[in-house]
Amino acid sequence: MSLSFLNYKNISTNKDMVKDILKLADTHPEVFVNITSFLANYKGNISVFPDIDEAIELEFNSPKYDLDDEKRENLIQTIKDLYGNSSKIFNKIRSKILEEFICNFGPVSTRHDSIITNQLTCYIEPTIMDGKQIVGITNKKCDVVFIDKNHTFIEFVECKTDICNVIPRNRPFDKAGKSHRDKVKYLENAYNYLKDNYCEPKIYFACYNSDYEDSLNNLQQNWGYEYMDFVNPKKLLENKFS
């Protein structure tokens, strides 16, 4: 048998706002990390935070950022425009930035450089098939999946802008939201199947949060998923550029 990936989405985005912010991950990674921290702290649009423009000015007009005046003004305006969207569009773009970042800078695992240079394929929300059998749970998918052509490296990355909404700090598994339990069960089933038949996959939840230790401990120790881990943009960029 051989794995196949069906019904996946296009990786590229047409939104200039997403592209402009993502460019900073290459050119000014410290600025990009602070943008993601800002997105973690201010989780709603201007209707939720009426003084958001002032907060943006205060944060990104700081001389700590190595930006010329034009780039600084463009950055501030871009972030203001992001928060000026409707709540639905704001949340969609906020999620898209994280997903596109993972696609561009993943996989998270860094010790597979020899495999990475040998053309990993990145799929967005694929249905994974082994012959006629669905891998995981029917109608459930993972945001980003990396795999090499020989199926000796597989990595799942589920993107959640606020990890505490999905993996609570201290709530038991059966008290978590049903959709979130189903996603974890999907990842568990996919992990077990692929480990038995191909290779042991890596599984990560990507988020904007910097303080996620309690949720990670709950996932690994209390829920029993020691093989799942968290990553945020700061950690991933540090790994890539170290």
* Structure tokens, 187: 């990842």
Q: Which pLDDT band holds residue 241 (cuts at 50, 70, 90)? A: low
Q: What is the DSSP letter of 208?
A: S
Query: What dotted CATH number matches 3-11+109-241?
Result: 3.40.1350
Alpha helix ranges (H) inside 42-167: 52-60, 69-83, 87-105, 113-116
Q: What is the pLDDT of residues 121-160, one digit of tens each?
A: 999 999 999 999 999 988 899 999 999 988 999 999 999 9
Residue 10 is given by DSSP the state P
**Tally of CB atoms within 10 A around 159:** 22
pLDDT score for 110:
67
For the chain, give every domain's residue range. 3-11+109-241, 16-95
* C-alpha–C-alpha distance, residues 137 and 116, integer Å: 28
Given this model, what pLDDT does residue 92 score?
93
Q: How far, in whole angstroms, is CA 223 from its chain's centroid?
A: 21
